[in-house]
Amino acid sequence: MSNNDIFKKLRVALELNNDEIIKIMELVNFKITKSELGSFFRSTDHPNFKPCGDQILRNFLNGLIIYKRGPRAPKNEDQA
């Protein structure tokens, strides 16, 4: 299963549109355009298809955690 397939399945399962995915990516300071995002969801034989790299999927998943759960609480150094 490719990164594109995983990205597509998550998009459908979570009912996310392109604007929401862009906002999720911005939560981890990763900028992506709508056209670049759309190229990941095209069929592999389409001329504008682009493979989704590990960095893009990783940033999406990290942003998705923040989107669903909120930002990570800062660690308290006094507690061990």
DSSP symbols for 57-68? HHHHHHHHHHHH
Please give the model's pTM, rounded to 2 decimal places: 0.83
Q: Give the model's pLDDT for residue 34.
A: 95
State pLDDT tens for residues 22-73: 999 999 999 999 999 999 999 999 999 999 999 999 999 999 999 999 877 7
Closest C-alpha among 63, 41, 65 to residue 51: 41
Residue 78 has pLDDT above 80, yes or no: no
Q: How many CB atoms lie within 10 A of CB 32?
A: 17
**CA dihedral of 25, 52, 7, 24, whole degrees rounded to 10:** 0
Residue 13 has pLDDT above 90, yes or no: yes
Closest C-alpha among 11, 3, 2 to residue 64: 11
Mean pLDDT score, 8-28: 96
